[in-house]
Amino acid sequence: MARTVQATVNGRKYHEENVEPRLLLVHFLRDRLGLTGTHVGCDSTNCGACTVMFNGKAVKSCTVLAVRADGAAITTIEGVADEEQLHPLQEGFWEKHGLQCGYCTPGMIMSALQLLERHPDPDEETVRLELEGNLCRCTGYQNIVEAVLWAAGRLRGASA
Amino acid sequence: MPMIGQSIKRREDLKYVTGSGTYVDDITLPGMLYATFVRSPHAHARLLGVDTGKALEHPKGIDAITGAEAYPLAGPMPVYSYRQATAIKKPDYRCLAHDRVRFVGEPVALVAAADRYAADDVAELVEVRYEPLEPLMDPDESLKPGAPKLHDNLDNNVGLRIERQGGDMEAAYREADFVFKRRYRMHRHTGTPIETRGCIAQYNTGTKELTLHCSTQIPHILKTHLSEILDFPEFKIRVIAPDVGGGFGNKLQVPPEVVALCLMAIKTRRPVKWIETRRESLMAFLHAREQTHDVEIPVKRDGTILGIKSHEIVNAGGYLDARISGPSLGAGMWLPGPYMVKGYQVDIDAVMTNKCPYGAYRGFGSQMGTLVIERSMDLIARQLGRDPVDLRRQNVIKETPYKTVTGHEFDSGDYEAGLDKALEMVDYPALREEQARLRKEGRYMGIGVAMAVEGAGWNTYTAAMAQHYVPTLDYATVTMRMDTSGNVTVLIGDVACGTSHATTAAQVAADATGLPIDTIEVVEGDTAVTPYDSGTRAARFSAVVLPAVAESGMALKKKVCRVGAHLLEGAEEDMEIVEGQVQVRGVPDKSLPVSRVARVAYSEVATLPREIPAGLEATESFKAPVSGLCITWPYSIHIPVVEVDIETGTVKFLRYAIVHDCGVEINPMVVEGQVVGGTAQGVGGALLEELVYDEDGQLLTTSFMDYLIPTATDMPSFEVCHLQTAAPQIPGGYKGMGEGGCVYVYAAVVNAVADAIEPLGVEITSTPLSPSRILELLREAGSNGGKA
């Protein structure tokens, strides 16, 4: 039984009809709304490439049904900042070479957003622990950790 | 300021951090269908019938193709013939199985439907009848006399035989005081890029063109193979590799699935997309690494390593992948390591079994050869009562260039100095003292040392184009085009898969032309607009492609200067380009912006003398200067320090020091990223990842819940020391380093763990060293303190 989903994604209101109940949120975002920055890497909630903010919490959108997004506020990588003024996390990943192929990067940044909300001044161990649910095959994580610590410093500086 | 040598930020990153990269699944074409493969649930079975009737009755089902239908339309998948292969049998490997299935996950049919989910529904309605047959999972079983043959056209289950020797192995045995013997086993695992395989195939009935958007490392080579397999004119095929979400050698594959997808596009006259699921990927994308080596090493009592001999068995799986020879031969060629041996001999059998086909993965066999020699160095040292570093120092090649018994010339570098540097980084003597102290407390710290000389830029790929071996050299061709406003596009035929080409090629192009880097853009991966290229493989981008970028840049500069000389009324040879200005050398007043020169060259051609050609474009090739198996010789020394918890079997990294030398570095930040990333990948391979089959041939590790790739908490902080010995034969001195740490890390980590638990009577000769395996080893040795 197809449903209607009304959701706010990156601050914009969407009204989508005929949403199959089995449609995954990640495919709703990618195939219906054209927001292809959110990626699919494993289909089983392990790799985190599909991470988005869902009502303020980082979730893996490959195991959320799109119909659950009815009434929800969602932020994807496309909504983190605009090109003119990157979010410090985006800057940090760029500055510290925190990405190579870039496929895990959007999910990694979305998880890191939540990490920094929870821990504005994290140490290395905290960063590694909090990002355990996001897999990267290229970097060995070293520069991802650096990127997040760099962004944390920036954000603290900005709020001080 | 020269751009080469600067750690400039990557030019490709803005799109990735904002989610505006374009991977194949991000592309939607008008009228596009979605495809799903029907795959074998059996490891080995006779295919009795495939019925697509019910599937096509599904309201969203559009079409289906079976193996029987595909058989006359698509020829066999390629297998490369290398000079070194003394015998190669070619199993009849088709894009869809037609008589028997030979591994779990082998494609038997393809369906197309109106959307992604419907394609899966339709695939479920395809009815396949199988007669299960006994699977062969272990090469030892496949090799037994009377074992059933997996392929009727082969004499037995040996798919590939390579025999190689060099130097004087007889003398090595003659002079030996004893012969060290072991059997080593490396387990099956693979690269698992986070982006799985995917492709969109499209056929235009009007132009009769086949266009593919495909996640691949080899757009041009793929095009050539598709032309052969489909008997389709090559110039009517266009392969576009968009952003590629990791390759690691796995995406050097010519995927049978892509061949079948082309058939579907031709049949339906509509674009068809296939995006592999992770489960499919773990079952049916390439597997790698699984090998055993029965090794003999003749040794003198004084510690001289005289030679190495091995019988190598590769578990090749159900079919031979095109590149089966590479990792098989790679392991054999790396057996002598960086040591001065008198002789070597390797007999390689790639054996057919009912596992997924075996192919390329970062390191290309070298990590197995390195594991064999480096593990042996430690074990021989122990047998002789020597320190493992001391034994290496005694045997390591002291001077370069050095002619190896494998027929290569290690052209540059100081391996002993590299070893010293690595020892200094970790303060080796202090570490040994610390280890002794901790052992008294019942704590098990281990220090692993591994070193190797890594070959980059394999010369072998064009063998792909011949059914028999032909001598070949690697080369690259690059076109550089200046537009009417003075900006430059660099056209390169391979494709970045995290490998930073857009940045490093622009750095080299900027220095070659004298133009500001911001005016240079790199375009790759589209066969319609880039020169032919053998793809992103074998760490060849720096060693082969970038010299071509430099050549092409210098040629373009010459053309700009020629037009500039005419406009400035100077001599061509007196011209230079400085920060976007063409000027008479040393006379900045006499100058013109490059944009003005470009405008004249394109739009005011009438004002130029007839002998100056219109437009500003240059195409140049660079041919490998060396004809051996590899072109350049980077090297590295790894020293991890670990602590093994003997109650849980877990391995914790205390330090990880790396010294490496990849010649002149174009962008040290990028180099370090590759070194660390490659090492991390190998840590996963050594400790965590394993593709496990049960005795019926079912793959048990079909998701990232079971196939454990490393997380952020599994990884140490790596300490990297860069040495830069220029490659003497390569203009620019680059050696290439895309294999990263993958060559060395297995041996280093295994040696570290072995060193940690050696006092408990454990000898390690196989991988992976997962916690359960370490506990098992401790139990076997009766040394886990009586705990479970």
Handedness of CA B748, B749, B754, B756 (dihedral sign): positive
The confidence score (pLDDT) of residue B473 equals 84
Residues near A32 by beta carbon (within 8 Å), at least 6 away in sequence? A16, A19, A23, A66
Once rounded to an integer, what is the mean pLDDT over residues B477-482? Answer: 98
With cut-offs at 50, 70 and 90, classify the pLDDT of residue B463: very low
**Residue-level pLDDT at B468:** 54
Phi/psi of residue B626, nearest 5 degrees: -120, 135
pLDDT at A57: 97
Asked whether the predicted pLDDT for residue B45 surpasses 50, the reply is yes
Average pLDDT over residues B479-500: 97
- For residue B697, is pLDDT > 50? yes
Cα–Cα distance, B736 to B538 (Å, whole number): 8
CB nearest to A137's CB, from B669, B681, B718: B681
Q: Tell me, what's the pLDDT at B570?
A: 94
- The model's pTM: 0.97
> Would you say residue B535 has pLDDT above 50?
yes
Separation CA B544–CA B362 (nearest Å) = 18
Query: B476: pLDDT confidence band, cut at 50, 70 and 90?
Result: very high
B531 vs B544: CA distance, rounded Å: 14
pLDDT at residue B360 tops 50: yes
Distance CA B732, CA B3 (A): 13
**Between chains, do A140 and B14 touch, taking CB under 8 Å as contact?**
no
Q: What is the pLDDT of residue B737?
A: 87
Closest-CA residue of chain A to B278: A42
d(CA B615, CA B601): 5
Q: pLDDT-derived band of residue B101, with 50, 70 and 90 as boundaries?
A: very high
Q: Which residues of B touch A51 (CB under 8 A)?
A: none
Cα B116 from Cα B108, distance rounded (Å): 19
Which residue shows structure tokens 């830029």? B457
Q: Look up residue B633 and give its DSSP letter.
A: -
Mean pLDDT confidence for B55-82: 94
| B42: nearest Cα among B320, B318, B324, B351 | B318
Question: Looking at the predicted structure, is the pLDDT value of residue B8 above 80?
Answer: yes
Phi/psi at B379 (5° precision): -70, -40
Which tens digit of pLDDT belongs to each residue from B219-251?
Answer: 999 999 999 999 999 999 999 999 999 999 999
B176 and B299 in contact (C-beta within 8 Å)?
yes
State the pLDDT confidence band at A83, using cuts at 50, 70 and 90. low
pLDDT > 80? residue B464: no
What's the start-to-end Cα distance of chain A, in Å? Answer: 51
Q: How far apart are CA B252 and CA B550, in angstroms?
A: 26
Mean pLDDT, residues B49-58 taken together = 98
Domain coordinates in residue numbering, chain A:
3-79, 88-159
Q: Is the distance from CB of B261 to CB of B274 less than 8 angstroms?
A: yes
**Of residues A20, A81, A139, nearest to B673 (C-beta):** A139
Select the more confidently predicted residue: B80 or B410.
Answer: B410
CA B69 and chain centroid, separation: 34
B-chain residue closest to A105, CA distance: B17
- Residue B786 binned pLDDT confidence (cut-offs 50, 70, 90): very low
How confident is the model at residue B782, as a pLDDT?
Answer: 86
- Residue carrying the six token digits 């068995």: B313
Does the domain at B475-623 match CATH 1.10.3210.10? Answer given as: no
Looking at domain A88-159, its CATH architecture is Orthogonal Bundle (1.10)
Residue of chain B minimizing CA distance to A135? B711
Preceding peptide of B401 cis, ω within 30°: yes
How does pLDDT run across B587-609, given as a tens digit for each residue? 889 999 999 999 999 999 999 99
Cα separation of B739 and B628, whole Å? 19
- pLDDT recorded at residue B628: 77
Calpha distance B499→B373 (Å, rounded): 30
- pLDDT for residue B516: 97
Q: Give the residue from B179, B63, B40 showing the smallest Cα distance to B114.
A: B63
Looking at the complex, report in whole angstroms how far the Cα of residue B225 sits from the nearest Cα belonging to chain A. 26
The answer to whether the CB atoms of B704 and A42 lie below 8 A apart is yes
User: Is the confidence at residue B86, as pLDDT, over 70?
Assistant: no
Q: Which two tokens stand for residue B16?
A: 């990735």
CA-to-CA dists, residue B693 to B103, B281, B316, B323, B587, angstroms: 11, 15, 14, 23, 72
On the question of a cis peptide bond just before residue B768, with omega within 30 degrees of 0, the verdict is: yes
d(CA B346, CA B313): 10
Q: Does A151 touch chain B (CB under 8 A)?
A: no
- Locate the DSSP E strands across B241-306: 272-275, 291-299
pLDDT at B364 over 60: yes
pLDDT in tens, B410-427: 999 999 999 999 999 999
Mean pLDDT across the stretch A60-70?
A: 97
Please state the domain extents for chain B. 475-623
Contact present, B311 and B345 (Cβ < 8 Å): no
Q: Which residue among B10, B116, B191 places its CB closest to the CB of A97?
A: B10
Task: Reply yes or no on whether the pLDDT at B663 is more than 60.
Answer: yes
Q: How many residues does chain B have?
A: 788
**With a cut of 0.90, is the ipTM above it?**
yes
Mean pLDDT across chain B, nearest whole number? 95
Average pLDDT over residues A58-82: 96
pLDDT attached to residue B84:
57
Going by the DSSP 8-state scheme, the letter that residue B743 receives in this structure is G
Q: Determine the length of chain A.
A: 160
Q: How far, rounded to the nearest angstrom, does the alpha carbon of residue B341 sit from its chain's CA centroid?
A: 28
Tell me, yes or no, if B590 comes closer than 8 A to chain A by beta carbon: no
Size of interface A-B (CB pairs under 8 A): 182
Asked if pLDDT for residue B788 goes beyond 50, the answer is no
Q: Residue A65 has what pLDDT?
A: 98
Query: A3 CA to chain B: closest CA distance, Å?
Result: 16
Nearest partner of B32 among B245, B274, B280, B222, judged by Cα:
B274
Over chain A, what HEC string results?
A: CCEEEEEEECCEEEEEEEECCCCEHHHHHHHHCCCCCCCCCCCCCCCCCCEEEECCEEEEHHHCEHHHHCCCEEECHHHCCCCCCCCHHHHHHHHCCCCCCCCCHHHHHHHHHHHHHHCCCCCHHHHHHHCCCCCCCCCCCHHHHHHHHHHHHHHHHHHC
In angstroms, how far is the first alpha carbon of chain B from the final one? 63
Sheet holding B100-101, edge to edge: B100-101, B45-51, B127-132
Residue B128 has pLDDT above 90, yes or no: yes
Nearest to B324 by CA among B311, B314, B334: B314
Please give the backbone phi and psi of residue B163, each rounded to the nearest 5 degrees, phi first. Answer: -120, 120
In the CATH scheme, what is the homologous superfamily, with its name and number, of domain A3-79? Beta-grasp domain (3.10.20.30)
From the CB of residue B300, how many other CB atoms can be counted at a distance below 10 Å?
Answer: 14
